[in-house]
């Protein structure tokens, strides 16, 4: 990815206010969830895991973790790049259309000393499971870029 976000779209409906949530590393609006990436990230490795119930927490392995709820109208959301071009279909989700939670984990890739010429990157883990959508939760905020989005968690 060359721009600092990606989107899950297609059959995703926002929960709560009809306007986007501002000031978060995950924002939601009608039909989409947008995931910010750290400024300057030139590459992102994305892993998506689906569960039938809330998964265990792996926040210790990541710099920042945010959890949000959403409703999937079709049960088959797609991953889009910054220009809204489809990258792949994520579904079908385990229980089809309905309410879900997604936990967004981000960590900056740390290259060994002397490898400064490699482009900066991030590892991203999305964990998705059926659940009552509820409010967004900042589980862990430690990086400087995420503190800008979540100043109360500093």
Please name which of 44, 115, 121 lies closest in space to residue 79, comparing C-alpha atoms: 44
Please name which of 49, 73, 74 lies closest in space to residue 124, comparing C-alpha atoms: 49
Give 56 or 72, the one with higher predicted confidence.
56
* Whole-number average pLDDT of the chain: 79
- At 115 the pLDDT is 56
Give the mean model confidence (pLDDT) for residues 48-76. Answer: 90
Give the mean model confidence (pLDDT) for residues 117-143. Answer: 85
Residue 2 has pLDDT above 50, yes or no: no
- At 125 the pLDDT is 95
pLDDT bracket for residue 65 (50, 70, 90) = very high
């Amino acid at each position: 990815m060359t721009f600092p976000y990606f989107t899950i779209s297609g059959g995703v409906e926002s929960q709560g206010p009809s306007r986007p949530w501002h000031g978060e590393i995950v924002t939601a609006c009608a039909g989409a969830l947008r995931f910010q990436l750290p400024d300057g990230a030139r590459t992102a490795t994305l892993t998506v895991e689906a569960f039938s119930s809330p998964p265990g927490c792996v926040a210790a392995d990541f710099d920042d973790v945010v959890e949000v709820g959403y409703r999937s109208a079709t049960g088959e959301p797609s991953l889009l790049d910054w220009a809204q071009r489809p990258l792949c279909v994520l579904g079908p989700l385990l229980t089809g259309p309905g309410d879900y939670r997604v936990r967004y984990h981000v960590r900056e890739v740390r290259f060994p000393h002397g490898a400064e010429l490699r482009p900066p990157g991030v590892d991203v883990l999305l964990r998705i499971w059926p659940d009552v959508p509820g409010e967004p939760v900042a589980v862990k905020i430690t990086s400087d870029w995420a503190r800008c989005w979540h100043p109360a968690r500093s």
